Amino acid sequence: ISLVQFTREPVLEFSFRKHNCKPCLLADIGDTEYISDLNSVDNIIHKVVKYGFSKRRGDRDEVPNVLVMITNGMSSGQFHE
C-alpha cells in the first residue's frame, strides 16, 4: 500500500516499501492529515502510473497494479486516455 495526496503537486505520505504489518499501516493512514485543495484528476492518474507504480517505490511485476482514488468530487481537469 502506498498513500499519495494530491493538490497542485503530489505529496507522498508513504511508499509500498514502508509497511509490513497491517496495524502499522492502518495507524499511519489514520494519522494522515487530509490536504484540502483543488486537484487535477488527469495529472494525478498520469503521475501515479509513471512514478508510483515503479520498482524503486516497491512495485512488483507479478502483482497487479490497482489505484484506488478517493476525491472530494472537485477537479480542475479532466482525464483523457
Domain boundaries, the chain: 1-81
CB contact set of 78 (below 8 Å; sequence gap of 6+): 41, 42
Number of helices and strands in the chain (H, E): 2, 2
Chain segment 14-73, per-residue pLDDT in tens: 878 788 889 988 999 899 888 776 667 777 788 878 887 888 888 888 989 887 777 666
The answer on pLDDT for 79 being more than 60 is: no
Q: Which residue has the higher pLDDT, 13 or 26?
A: 26
The answer to whether 2 and 15 have CB atoms below 8 angstroms apart is yes
**Residue 4: per-residue pLDDT:** 79
Quote the pTM value. 0.52
- Given CA atoms 35, 16, 42, 65 in this order, what sign does their dihedral have? negative
The dotted CATH code for 1-81 is 3.40.50.410
Cell readout for 54 is 515503479
Residue showing cell 508510483: 52
